[in-house]
Amino acid sequence: MRPRIHHHLIVGIDIAKDKHHAFFGTAKGQALWRRLIFTNDLTGFRRLIEQVDILKARHALDQLVFGMEPTGNYHKPLIHWLTEQGYLVVFVAGKAVKDNRELLDGRWDKNDTKDSANIADLISQGKCLFYENPDADILALRNLLSIRRHLKKEIHRLRMRIRNGLLAKYFPEMDRLWGSCITENLAIVRWYLDPRKIAATDFDVFVRHVTTTDRGVRQLRRLRKIHDAAACSIGVPVDAAAEHEGKILVDRFKAVAEELEAVMEQIESICREMPSYRILLTIPGFGPYITPLVLSALANPLRFKSRKQVIRLAGLDLNASRSGKTSKQQVPVISKKGDAELRYGLYQAALIASYHNDAFRRLYNRMLEGRQGERGIKTKARVKIAAKMLVIAWTMLKKSEPFNPNHLMAEPVHLRGNIDFGRDNPEPAIPMARASNV
């Protein structure tokens, strides 16, 4: 028997670093207690439960729902404690909170008390997401992938500081000749930031000093260009401060690169113990980074009811404005509302598979038949393949089966209009909680 909505106590919590604001109401929109400020510690959590017990007894409510908007990492201790105590916790999306704020009273005014009431109002409408509590291995993967993401950003920041902060000023010709061998580039910045020093050094000595491996004629040709450009460089004179900055940036770059390598080893160590990891590795284009990324995003594959929910997870579902006289002329585009890192990783996997795997190459060429001259068709085809890869991974995890290339060409392929991974009324990526059955 489904519980009646007027028996629910809804607690909307606006999360902060030190103190949280709570609003207590019913599923019908009645406010029972507008403001409770409690601290982010065990004493504050117990104070919250005391107020809940008082209102449940006073208003004869036997069902309880806690809801909040994810805010950094500040909400995680509270959620962990509430779920450990057996309480039902749901999330509201930040976009929904923003859009619903003006609907409360027709104003855009924002404050902590109003935000908690806004969250409770969204829960009463059923516009919320159930809290996901995956296995410890999935949580560890997500944390490590988050660390990897920050380290990659740090490496990019250091690279830009070296190229735009040092080379553009002291050796601009070197910036134009920046190649793919990062070891040689760092060695030049560390020991030969001053182009006059390169010009005064014999070419063979210069090569032996900045290289660690022999990469053949192309390597020597590039280093020769750098050596020749140093003789007529327009860079400003290098002082002791610039050399010290170059040393700091190079050492930091190497340290971050080592940290990144250690993180990837830890990710691989965790994944080796997971049978689902070995299953996903059989998909062409899935390597030691894409596989954990997809695995951490899907987590429990049984929580998805259809392929459309899986595709929405990565923001690969199609959207278009189809109202009015020109609705037939609107071209759908992917929503990009899901996980951007997952979407990028899947596209890279599709790119590799469409080049190097026979089955995916045939599928890719079939998508291009008769449309080779259409603008952007190659990117569209690979986006389609990326979405198909995610669905394939989800299906393989559900069935615990390795990749079978024979299934790729089993379904008709269409790229015009609404592609089969995004229709007019797609389903939500995660089941939404309704006030009648929360």
Which pLDDT score, from 0 to 100, does residue 95 have?
Answer: 87
Helix (H) and strand (E) counts in the chain: 18, 8
The domain boundary, picked from 268, 291, 319, lies at: 268
pLDDT in tens, 132-145: 888 899 999 999 99
Residue 210 counted as domain residue: yes
Residue 438 lies inside a defined structural domain of this protein:
no
CA distance from start to end of the chain: 13
pLDDT of residue 325: 63
Is 252 in the same domain as 190? yes
384: containing domain: 275-410
Q: What is the pLDDT, as a whole number, of residue 72?
A: 87
Cβ neighbours for 354, distance < 8 A, ≥ 6 positions apart? 360, 361, 363, 364, 381, 382, 385
Strand pairing of 333-334 and 63-68? unpaired
Phi–psi pair at 128, nearest 5 degrees:
-150, 170
Q: Are 257 and 361 in contact (CB under 8 A)?
A: no
Neighbours of 12 (CB within 10 A): 25
Amino acid type, 43: T
Q: What is the pLDDT of residues 97-117, one digit of tens each?
A: 998 988 887 887 888 889 999
Bridge partners (DSSP) listed for residue 90 = 67, 130
Q: Is 15 found in the same domain as 121?
A: yes
pLDDT over 90, % of the chain: 75
pLDDT digits (tens, 9 = 90+) for 289-311: 999 999 999 999 999 999 999 99
Using alpha carbons only, what angle is made at residue 239 by residues 237 and 243, rounded to the nearest 5 degrees?
115
| 425: in domain | no
Check whether 412 has a pLDDT greater than 90: no
259 and 280, same domain (yes or no): no
Q: Which residues contact 255 (CB under 8 A, 6 or more apart)?
A: none
- Predicted pLDDT of residue 133: 83
> Residue 9's beta-bridge partner residues?
26, 64
CATH number at residue 74: 3.30.420.40
How far apart, in whole angstroms, are the C-alpha atoms of residue 202 and residue 196? Answer: 12
- Are residue 9 and residue 117 in the same domain, yes or no? yes
Shared domain for 84 and 154, answered yes or no, is no
How far apart (Å, rounded) are the C-alpha atoms in residues 140 and 127? Answer: 29
pLDDT confidence of residue 112: 82
Q: Is residue 185 part of a domain?
A: yes
The length of the chain in residues reads: 438
pTM of the model: 0.84
**Closest by alpha carbon to 190, among 236, 238, 256, 250?**
250
110 and 225 housed in the same domain: no
pLDDT (tens digit per residue) in 82-99: 999 999 999 999 889 998
Give the residue, 330 or 368, on which the prediction is more confident: 368
Report the alpha-carbon distance of residue 91 to residue 79 in Å, rounded.
10
Last residue of a domain, one of 250, 268, 286: 268
Provide the number of structural domains found in the chain: 3
Domain membership flag for residue 432: no
pLDDT at 204 over 70: yes
**Can you tell me the mean pLDDT for 23-33?**
93
Q: How far apart are CA 139 and CA 147, in angstroms?
A: 12
In whole angstroms, how far apart are CA 30 and each of 14, 16, 24, 387?
A: 18, 25, 9, 43
Domain containing 190 — which CATH number? 1.10.287.4070
What per-residue confidence (pLDDT) applies to 215? 86
Q: Check whether residue 280 and residue 153 sit in a common domain.
A: no
% of the chain residues with pLDDT over 70: 91
Same domain, 198 and 284: no
Question: What count of other Cβ atoms lies within 10 Å of the Cβ of residue 179?
Answer: 13
Residues 396 and 329 occupy one common structural domain: yes
> What does the mean pLDDT of the chain come to?
89
| 8 SS3 class | strand
Statement: residue 416 has pLDDT above 60: no
Residue 432 has pLDDT above 70, yes or no: no
Residue 342 and residue 231 share a domain: no
431 inside domain = no
In this structure, the answer to whether residues 125 and 93 fall within a common structural domain is yes
pLDDT, position 411 = 57
Q: Are residues 250 and 152 in the same domain?
A: yes
Indicate whether 271 pLDDT > 50.
yes
Average pLDDT of span 62-74: 93
> What is the Cα–Cα distance from 29 to 22, expressed in whole angstroms?
15
Stretch 173-183: mean pLDDT: 89
What are 212-268's pLDDT values in tens digits?
A: 988 899 999 999 999 999 999 999 999 999 999 999 999 999 999 999 999 999 999
Read off the pLDDT band of 410 (50, 70, 90): low
pLDDT tens digit sequence for 274-293: 999 999 999 999 999 999 99
The verdict on residue 423 lying in a domain is no
Q: Is residue 416, in this structure, part of any structural domain at all?
A: no
**Domain boundary residue, one of 106, 130, 154:** 130
- Matching residue, tokens 């009324």: 425
